[in-house]
């Protein structure tokens, strides 16, 4: 009798765990946002209609049109292989946004695949850390001394 009860608990646990995993995968599929290059996005534009997608590429030099009074940004994104997509973004661009910079645009692509309406604009940046030069370190020490050691006779070395 004990083995039968134990087997039922194990089978029940496996069924519940399987149901949880299955439901997780089903709900996760609705929240995935796929990443495309400009050429892939243009080729699949018809099947991507109505979906939020991410497209990554470079900001084409000379294509940026920023209107600060209306917070309107238009530019061309390229894959450097001749495939370009126009991007329209409402809102302030990220601080590191500039021509020739890598960007990832999240939004919806047009029917013809020639433009994307951005809802989120992200800038790719270098993962390289550069230590500030000597001219910055003396100023940093001075600021640190003023903020941390007010009234104390200690100095940072």
Q: What is the pLDDT of residue 85?
A: 93
Q: What is the pLDDT of residue 76?
A: 94
List, run by run, the mean pLDDT of 10-residue segments along the chain (157 residues).
Answer: 80 89 72 77 87 90 92 92 92 88 91 90 72 54 53 48
Q: What is the pLDDT of residue 28?
A: 65
Q: What are phi and psi of 120, to 5 degrees?
A: -150, 130
Tokens representing 113? Answer: 């695949």
User: What is the distance between the alpha carbons of residues 109 and 49, in angstroms, rounded to a whole number?
Assistant: 7
Q: What is the pLDDT of residue 152?
A: 47
User: What is the distance between the alpha carbons of residues 27 and 121, in angstroms, rounded to a whole number?
Assistant: 25
For residue 144, CA distances in Å to 12, 100, 131, 139, 141 come to 61, 36, 17, 9, 5
Q: What is the pLDDT of residue 30?
A: 56
């Amino acid at each position: 009798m004990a083995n039968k009860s134990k087997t039922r608990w194990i089978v029940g646990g496996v069924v519940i765990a399987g149901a949880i995993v299955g439901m997780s995968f089903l709900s996760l599929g609705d929240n995935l946002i796929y990443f495309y290059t400009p050429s892939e996005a243009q080729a699949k534009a018809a099947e991507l209609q109505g979906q939020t997608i991410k497209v990554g590429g470079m900001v084409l030099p000379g294509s940026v049109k920023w209107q600060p009074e209306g917070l309107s940004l238009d530019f061309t994104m390229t894959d450097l292989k001749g495939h370009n997509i126009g991007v329209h973004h409402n809102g302030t661009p990220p601080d590191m946004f500039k021509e020739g910079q890598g960007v990832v645009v999240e939004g919806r692509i047009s029917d013809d695949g020639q433009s994307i309406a951005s809802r989120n604009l992200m800038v790719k940046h270098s993962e390289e850390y550069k230590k500030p030069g000597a001219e910055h370190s003396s100023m940093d020490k001075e600021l640190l001394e003023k903020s941390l050691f007010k009234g104390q006779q200690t100095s940072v070395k």
